[in-house]
Amino acid sequence: MDGDSVNPTVAVSAPGKVLLAGGYLVLDRAYNGLVFGLSARINAIAQEIHTVPGVQLSEVVVESPQFLEAQWRYGYRLAHDDGGIKVTQLQIGSEMNPNPFVETTLSYVLTYIYRTSYRRRSHSIKPCRVIILADNDYYSQAAPGSKTSTTPPGSSSSSSTTPQPTARFASFPVPLTKAHKTGLGSSAALVTSLTAALLAHYLSPDDFDASTDEGRVILHNLAQAAHCAAQGKVGSGFDVAAAVWGSCLYRRFSPGVLAGLGEVGSRAFGSRLEELVLNDPPVWDVDIGKGGVNLPAGVAVRMCDVDCGSQTVGMVKQVLKWREEHAESAKKLWDELQRRNEGLAAVLKEGRNQDIRAAVAGIRELVRKMGAESGVPIEPENQTELLDALEGVEGVYGGVVPGAGGFDALALLVKDDQATTSRLEEFLVKWSKEKGGRVSLLGVKGEMEGVKLEDLQHYQGWITET
Using one digit for the tens of pLDDT, what is the confidence trace for 115-140?
998 776 666 789 999 999 999 999 87
Among 277, 356, 4, 303, smallest CA distance to 137 is for 303
pLDDT of residue 204: 93
CA distance 188 to 190: 5
pLDDT reading at 147 higher than 50: no
pLDDT of residue 228: 97
Contact partners, residue 7, CB within 8 Å, separation at least 6: 1, 46, 48, 126, 128, 201, 202
Give how far Cα 425 sits from Cα of 303, 318, 383, Å.
12, 35, 17
Break the chain into its structural domains and give their ranges.
10-290+450-459, 295-447
pLDDT reading at 148 higher than 60: no
Contact partners, residue 212, CB within 8 Å, separation at least 6: none
pLDDT reading at 235 higher than 80: yes
% of residues, the chain, pLDDT over 90: 76
Residue 356, CB-side half-sphere exposure with 13 Å CA sphere = 24
CA distance 278 to 288: 17
Range from 178-182, 259-263, 292-296 carrying the lowest mean pLDDT: 178-182
Taking residues 145-155, report their average pLDDT: 47
Total residue count of the chain as it appears in this document: 466
Among 420, 380, 418, smallest CA distance to 397 is for 420
pLDDT higher for 75 or 56? Answer: 75
- Assigned CATH topology for domain 10-290+450-459: Ribosomal Protein S5; domain 2 (3.30.230)
pLDDT bin (cut points 50, 70, 90) of residue 161 is very low
CA distance 414 to 266: 51
pLDDT of residue 365: 98
- Assigned CATH topology for domain 295-447: Alpha-Beta Plaits (3.30.70)
pLDDT bin (cut points 50, 70, 90) of residue 5 is low
Side chain identity at 324, as an amino acid letter? Answer: E
CA distance 116 to 174: 39
pTM, 2 dp: 0.92
Using one digit for the tens of pLDDT, what is the confidence trace for 270-323?
999 999 999 999 999 999 999 889 999 999 999 998 865 555 668 999 999 999
Using one digit for the tens of pLDDT, what is the confidence trace for 165-179?
447 898 888 888 888
Side chain identity at 392, as an amino acid letter? Answer: G
